[in-house]
Amino acid sequence: MAYTKLPYVAEYDLRPGEDRMPLWKRAWEKAGGHAFVLESGKEGRYTYLGLRPNALIRGKGRRAEAIEWGPEEPESGPDGEASPAEPAATRRLEGAPLALVREWLLRHRAPLAEGAPRFAGGAVGFWSYDVARSLERLPELAADDLGLPDYAFLQADELWVVDHRRLALYCCLHVPTPETGDIEAAYERTASRAEAMKRLWDEIAASAAEEAGQAFLRAMEEAIEEGRSDGPLNVEAYEGIRTATSKEDFMKAVRRIQEYIGQGDVFQVNLSLRQSRPIRTAPEDLYEWLRRINPSPYMSFVRFPDFQLVSASPELLVKLDGDRMSARPIAGTRRRGRSPEEDAAMEAELLASEKERAEHIMLVDLERNDLGRVAAYGTVKVPELLTVERYSHVMHLVSQVEGKLAPGKDAFDLLAAAFPGGTITGAPKIRTMEIIEELEPVRRGTYTGSLGWIDYAGNMEFNILIRTMAVQDGVCHIQAGAGIVIDSDPEREFYECMNKAKALWTAVRHGERYEARHAERHAEWRDEPRAER
């Protein structure tokens, strides 16, 4: 297929500290109703920020809509606000989710720009757990009470990429290949748009560097320190949280799973618990808090007009770079110690646990089998096994699984083989998904789905949506799960689910405290008009 788009990348130097300011808070004020940031809080190199996507596809079941917006200069209006953009075209589509998104994205192909960041344009979005219904025949028992899309992807032909290692800003654009006329003239127009993007960046950075922006940063650090002095958040006692399943019903579900295990149906099932609470802070601000108190490898914030995703996921689902594919399963958890000595003891206990090691290796084998479905023969390897990774509130056992994609296969074949991740279903995967549908009263939605990107050359990187908030109509929904085996203690597994949500509810607590002290200024921010795009 001939290239339909051409990349343009402009590189600019950043001032020391300019990549670490409370920048995103100002950026959201310039964004429309659809925007995103992807970054790694664990010493990651790149941050990807898209304020004005040029197209959207979102669907539920087999029905979808694809929207395209007309070209627009990435400048703010005369009052400093984002200006609305009307859809240039809307199409109604019908088909399987992966097939529709593949066709929607692969209408366009583009080469990789030399020296560009790893992701410089393409599609950014998520697959909900319920996309699995299009891949396997599953019963439909759980209530779809939130009604969120099964998937939604933004096409980003203009994005900022911050290189924290080189202290550089890339303005990345993709332009349609001219059907007629001078390609040099098209590049000149694109260069002008890149300069406009840089001017907008400078405007946002200057605002973030002002006293108000620095005061916000100081207030955040003070609130975090105050939270430390309060001690760990007791999630079970946190006012206003309601669970989709009572403790008693959750424990009954654990015992039912153990019956299935005893009958030989399954080896392990990941059973989850949704927690919900009205919140009094903007999801954009929650992301600022979360990225400071719980930095993780797959931080992300994605804004849609009707809901937002705030994520601090530690886990990779799949990554594809050329024909090199990889997965990084996580299974096995301990809380962090209150001192270095206790932390080391918790690590030793985790590594010594025969139960945790056996469960982890079983799930690594499941991942090997998933990758093996689309791998060139004999290429699937496990170069890293049973490593401990630490996060703010917990530590995990992780492994690395790698392979080479078989000729004739693409990113969507790999997604179909690996989705949803075995670490958040159990083994064997299909039977555990049937049991999850039976025992969890509400659909998982975005929880244990996957969020990430696919570029125009077919490379991709997707996380697993755990440690994630879905915010809708002023209510924050957080879900966490536990791997149930034959000797699991039902009450302990309930509290493990609550404990895994602790970092996210701590971010809510910090945000609401700050909000209460700065209510007037936040009310003004909330009243600002926001473009639909």
Q: Quick: pLDDT tens for 115-162.
A: 889 999 999 999 999 999 999 999 999 999 999 999 999 999 999 999
- Per mean pLDDT, which range of 189-198, 256-265, 284-293 is the poorest? 284-293
- Has residue 108 got a pLDDT over 70? yes
Q: Are residues 194 and 247 in the same domain?
A: no
Question: Mean of the pLDDT values across residues 434-448?
Answer: 98
pLDDT band for 425, please (50, 70, 90 cuts).
Answer: very high
Q: What are 4's two structure tokens?
A: 């339909």
483 is catalytic: yes
Q: Which of 245, 423, 425, 432 is catalytic?
A: 423
* CATH number of 268's domain: 3.60.120.10
| Contact in structure between 448 and 422 (CB atoms under 8 Å) | no
- Write down the pLDDT at residue 446: 98
| Contact in structure between 397 and 314 (CB atoms under 8 Å) | no
Q: Which of 26, 133, 360, 396 is catalytic?
A: 396
Q: Are residues 165 and 270 in the same domain?
A: no
447 is catalytic: yes
pLDDT band for 529, please (50, 70, 90 cuts).
Answer: very low
Last residue of a domain, one of 209, 225, 253: 209
- Per mean pLDDT, which range of 71-75, 109-113, 296-300, 360-364 is the poorest? 71-75
Mind listing the pLDDT tens digit for each residue in 309-346? Answer: 999 999 999 999 999 999 999 888 888 888 999 999 99
Whole-number percent of the chain with pLDDT over 90: 64
Q: Which of 260, 447, 456, 514 is catalytic?
A: 447
* Close Cβ partners of 437 (under 8 Å, ≥ 6 residues apart): 138, 139, 140, 141, 142
Q: Are residues 154 and 261 in the same domain?
A: no
Q: Which of 483, 506, 511, 513 is catalytic?
A: 483
Last residue of a domain, one of 161, 191, 209: 209
* Close Cβ partners of 138 (under 8 Å, ≥ 6 residues apart): 132, 433, 434, 437
396 is catalytic: yes
Total domains in the chain come to 2
Mind listing the pLDDT tens digit for each residue in 38-67? Answer: 998 666 789 999 998 999 999 999 999 999
Q: Are residues 45 and 179 in the same domain?
A: yes
- Residue 12: inside a domain: yes
- Write down the pLDDT at residue 102: 97
Q: Are residues 488 and 395 in the same domain?
A: yes
Q: Are residues 193 and 331 in the same domain?
A: no
Q: Are residues 6 and 121 in the same domain?
A: yes
- Per mean pLDDT, which range of 3-17, 202-216, 247-261 is the poorest? 202-216
Q: Are residues 248 and 201 in the same domain?
A: no
pLDDT band for 77, please (50, 70, 90 cuts).
Answer: very low
**Among 466, 435, 471, residue whose Cα is nearest residue 449:** 466
User: Would you call 440 exposed, middle or buried from its count of C-beta atoms within 10 A (0-12, 13-18, 19+)?
Assistant: buried
Burial 502-533 (b: 16+ CB within 10 A, else e): bbbbbbbbbbbbbbeeeeeebeeeeeeebbeb
Q: Which of 174, 393, 467, 522 is catalytic?
A: 467
- Residue 141: inside a domain: no
Distance in angstroms (rounded) separating the CA atoms of residues 451 and 39: 12
- Residue 219: inside a domain: no
Q: Are residues 253 and 168 in the same domain?
A: no
Mean pLDDT for the chain?
Answer: 88
Q: Are residues 53 and 106 in the same domain?
A: yes
- Write down the pLDDT at residue 526: 44
- Answer with the residue of higher pLDDT: 370 or 331: 370
Q: Are residues 181 and 248 in the same domain?
A: no
Roughly how many angstroms between the first and final C-alpha of the chain, as a whole number? 30
- Write down the pLDDT at residue 523: 47
Distance in angstroms (rounded) separating the CA atoms of residues 365 and 423: 11
- Has residue 180 got a pLDDT over 70? no
- Residue 450: inside a domain: yes
- Write down the pLDDT at residue 97: 98
Q: Are residues 177 and 251 in the same domain?
A: no
Question: Mean of the pLDDT values across residues 183-210?
Answer: 87
| Residue 95, domain extent | 1-129+149-209
Chain-centre distance for alpha carbon 115 = 26
